[in-house]
Chain A
Amino acid sequence: EVQLVESGGGLVQPGGSLRLSCAASGFTFSSYDMHWVRQPTGKGLEWVSAIGTAGDTYYPDSVKGRFTISREDAKNSLYLQMNSLRDADTAVYYCVRGDSSSRYPYYYYYMDVWGKGTTVTVSS
């Protein structure tokens, strides 16, 4: 069974740090891009970071310079190091697999496997 399981969430003070982990199983982890997507309580989805199979990384401006995504293919694991946390970072964080499908000559990208999420609360 294809599965993603997040861990590492919790309560942290503003300005603090937290490291999220995601354990992947049931597929060849090293062959896929991976993402973190977050969702504040009662609000919509926000893409937070991505890492390609070659280790290339991407971030939106809202977290650039504060968050670092990394992967360890030998352990089928994805990580998100979050520093200088703010109240606005409070959310459920999902680990997500990226994939694509070809319809010649194009490749269509989507996020097809999601973990159950881990909750991060930034509060004093």
Chain B
Amino acid sequence: DIQVTQSPSSLSASVGDRVTITCRASQSISSYLNWYQQKPGKAPKLLIYAASSLQSGVPSRFSGSGSGTDFTLTISSLQPEDFATYYCQQSYSAPPWTFGQGTEVAIK
């Protein structure tokens, strides 16, 4: 099974900061990488698919990049509603669909 590892596990940032989260796959997965946002007590929400395609309705301050084994989710200017946990997920070799362990973005 392909493993995906996120870093950092958590970070603290201020409103307006640029935030970057990294996801690394255990083998090349081309661009088969998705990003989800989850707020406390809520279901996950799809943000980005195919490494860099923004899901409909998601603000343009979110962007994704990368291919192969290394991927990045960037929030260009952190907003109060962006404080949440973010998960990456590979869909290259599935099943199983595997998720990263999550990155919690907290208020500094």
Chain A positions near chain B (C-beta within 8 angstroms): 35, 37, 44-47, 50, 58-60, 94, 101, 103, 106, 108-112, 114-117
Contacts and interface: CB of A to CB of B under 8 A. Distances in A.
B99 A110 contact: no
B95 A111 contact: no
Contacts of B50: 101, 103, 108, 110
A58 B94 CA distance: 10
A117 B46 CA distance: 16
B95 A50 contact: yes
A94 B97 CA distance: 14
Interface string B25-65: 00000111010100000111110011001010000000000
Interface of B: 30-32, 34, 36, 42-46, 49-50, 53, 55, 87, 89, 91, 94-102
A10 B46 CA distance: 27
Contacts of B102: 44-45
B99 A45 contact: yes
Contacts of A116: 42-43
A114 B49 contact: no
A45 B44 contact: yes
Contacts of A58: 95-96
B95 to A, nearest CB: 4
A108 B98 contact: no
B91 A108 contact: yes
A46 B50 CA distance: 20
A109 B34 CA distance: 9
B45 A114 contact: yes
Contact of B95 (A60, A94, A103, A115): A60
11 contacts: A37-B44, A45-B36, A45-B44, A46-B99, A60-B95, A94-B43, A108-B31, A108-B91, A110-B50, A111-B89, A117-B43
